[in-house]
Amino acid sequence: MKTPAVTPSRRPADAPITVFGPDFPFAYDDWLTHAAGLGQLPASRHGTEVAIVGAGMAGLTAAYELMKLGLKPVVYEASRMGGRLRSQPFEGGSGAIAELGGMRFPLSSTGFYHYVRTLGLQSRPFPNPLTPAANCTVIDLEGQTHWARTLEDLSPLFREVAQAWSDALEEGAGFTELQTAMRQRDVERVKALWNALVPRWDDRTFYDFVAQSSAFQRLSFHHREVFGQVGFGTGGWDSDFPNSMLEILRVVLTGCDENQHLIVGGVQQVPLGLWHHAPPHLVHWPQGTTLARLHHGAPRPAVKAIQRAGNGQLEVTDAWGGTRRFDAVLVTCQSWLLTTQIACEESLFSQKLWMALDRTRYMQSSKTFVMVDRPFWNDLRANGWPVMGMTLTDRLTRGTYLFDNGPDQPGVICLSYAWMSDALKMLPYDSAKRVQLALEALRKIYPGVDIASHIIGDPITISWEADPYFLGAFKGALPGHYRYNHRMYGHFMQDALPERERGIFLAGDDISFTPAWVEGAVQTALNAVWGIVRHLGGTSHPDNPGPGDWYPHIGPVALPD
């Protein structure tokens, strides 16, 4: 492909950080908002059906944009619409909700917030530790309890840990220089700096990065322990210690661990909003067309099989035995489902890609929520501090978050948010037992606070690894997985694929380089939109080249197999 005539616009060095690369520094936000749109299709293709497997954020983003371009998405969903953007209301709770999946969304996720704004939704700061939104933070480690509003309120030990983490990032990754290049959207500089880090850190774990840094080697093991247990930004890091360091670098470089907001009323409104939203500008379809109307109100049932039909199309079979044929299919479910839930014809993907899909490693995650009669945690103790705060601990609960919906409204407490081994401890238990265990742990931190007396309604819990349609919360790439990620992420570029492997596309945060963050789902969905348009004979507008137009020039660096 020729280099696009339109080059990315540069920004000042102090511009807000966004999820711009680093693997593929393409400006998805600019592409989305350009007046020329995402592309055009031959008129003969208008109304062509395209299958979308999964009605999460990736699936509905792609369906919404493909509908705008004149195609007819046919969405299949095996469980609940929204995927892991799942907001469950409490019964009779006056709008109180439990965010069972994604709940905090960094402002650097500019593609995601494009759709938040499109739908007219509101956000507000998430009550993360040591943020004004949390009011106060309580850190409980090894039986010692520390109260703080800012880092400066904590003992020197915590400030030393924070400084060591900052120093380690500079030493091991040239953090400031690379993030500045990302702020500026200096594509050549981002590529030069990041491409050098990929072979250096792909085979090494997050823990190795921390333990071998001179910044942490100057300190005690206890400093490392504190960093793992409570960390900074969103909380403890130890559940990620086995992961590839590349994955952690992407999180901090793109600002995903800071400046996070929640979506007022629940984040599930975003994917469901795309389902019901009538875009102001449509090709082919009459004004007022929505995905919901095209589907007569509901998506089609679960997909049970995908295979190549005799005429070269892709044949999709649903749970009730119905079959339909499509020129293009987009799969957005977790990749493991292609071997456990869906009979996917093996020849549709190369053996190299199957290796990547099957070796994807998903992390466990559990949450336990209760609704309370009021935000009682704001009551003041004699010393002027609130009776409770956002809590980080080495106890069973790990992270406890407090959601204030107003002084006269029911509040919500996420009693426990845990990952990996801490999440597995909860797996065998029902919601009542989980609440009991959480309350017992919190009682040791707040011996004078009767949390149970404020609980109203039934608790809400989830273990994502126990859900047969997910089998885990999100991908956590292990050392050596960069090549697998490269294969999955770049699969939308299909010109070089054999004919038997074309027409089926992949999207979702587990296909992206930023798993666990909704922006990864949005960006891979937009990659798939470009790929499907090209597969069906369409093109990008010359004034608004898309990700596939730029991919040959600034795509992720390839490591040798």
Residue 276: inside a domain, yes or no?
A: yes
β-pair type (97-99, 87-89): antiparallel
State whether 234 and 371 are in the same domain. Answer: no
Q: How far apart are the C-alpha atoms of 6 and 356, rounded to whole Å?
A: 34
The model's pTM: 0.97
d(CA 521, CA 292): 21
Distance (Å, whole) CA 51 – CA 325: 9
Looking at the structure, tell me whether residues 375 and 335 fall in a common domain.
Answer: no
**Both tokens of residue 31?**
């592409």
Q: Please give the pLDDT value at position 159.
A: 93
Measured distance CA(553)–CA(16) in Å, rounded: 25
- Token pair of 136 as six digits: 């106060």
| Residue 255, pLDDT score | 96
**Do residues 340 and 388 both lie within one domain?**
no
Do residues 372 and 447 share a domain? yes
Whether 122 is covered by a domain: the verdict is: no
Per-residue tokens: 426: 């909860």
Name the H helices within 373-474. Answer: 420-424, 431-445
Quote the CA–CA distance of 357 and 291 in Å, as a whole number. Answer: 29
DSSP per-residue string spanning 250-275: HHHHTTTTSSEEEETT-TTHHHHHHH
- Could you tell me which of 257, 196, 244 has the C-alpha nearest to residue 360? 244
Among the candidates 196, 227, 261, a domain finishes at 261
Residue 23 lies in a domain: no
For residue 234, the model assigns a pLDDT of 73
DSSP 539-554: B--TTS--HHHHHHHH
Distance CA 52, CA 300 (A): 10
The tally of domains found in the chain comes to 3
Beta carbons within 8 Å of 308's beta carbon, 6+ residues apart? 314, 315, 345, 347, 348, 500
Cα distances (Å, whole numbers) of residue 68 to 72, 274, 410, 540: 9, 12, 40, 14
CA 524 to chain centre: 11
Same domain, 427 and 492: no
Q: Tell me if 488 sits within 8 A of 506, measured CB to CB.
A: yes
Query: Is 19 within a domain?
Result: no
Could you count the other beta carbons within 10 Å of the beta carbon of residue 93? 17
Distance between CA 91 and CA 96 in Å, rounded?
9
- Is 560 a domain residue? no
Domain boundary among 466, 496, 529: 466
Same domain, 237 and 273: no
505, 549, 509: which is closest to 529 by C-alpha? 505
Please indicate, yes or no, if residue 109 is contained in any of the structural domains: no
- CA-closest candidate to residue 50, choices 32, 68, 35: 68
92 φ/ψ angles, rounded to the nearest 5 degrees: 65, 20
Pairing, β 314-318 against β 399-403: unpaired
Question: Are the beta carbons of 87 and 100 closer than 8 angstroms?
Answer: yes
Token couple for 433: 């037992």
**From CA 362, how far away is CA 273, in angstroms rounded?**
28
How confident is the chain (561 residues) per 10-residue block, as mean pLDDT? 78 95 98 97 98 98 98 97 97 91 97 98 96 95 94 93 96 97 97 98 97 97 93 81 96 96 98 98 97 97 98 97 98 96 98 97 96 96 94 95 94 96 95 98 96 96 96 94 98 97 98 96 98 98 97 97 89
Compute how many other C-beta atoms are within 10 angstroms of the C-beta atom of residue 229: 19
Same domain, 346 and 370: no
Q: Tell which of 211, 245, 261 closes a domain.
A: 261
Checking DSSP bridges between strand 329-331 and strand 504-506, what pairing results, if any?
parallel
3-state secondary structure 356-422: HHHHCCEECEEEEEEEECCCHHHCECCCCCECCCEEEECCCCEEEEEECCCCCCCEEEEEEEEEHHH
Identify whether residues 455 and 401 lie together within a single domain: yes
What is the structure's pLDDT at 230? Answer: 85
d(CA 298, CA 316): 18
Is the same domain home to 447 and 303? no
Query: What is the C-alpha separation between 443 and 249, in angstroms, rounded?
Result: 36
Tell me the residue range of the domain where 195 lies. Answer: 155-261
Q: pLDDT at position 236, please?
A: 80
Same domain, 375 and 456: yes
401 in a domain, yes or no?
yes
Pair 278, 300 in one domain: yes
CA 532 to chain CA centroid, Å, is: 23
pLDDT of residue 424: 94
The answer on 371 and 334 residing in a single domain is: no
Residue 346 in any domain: the answer is: yes
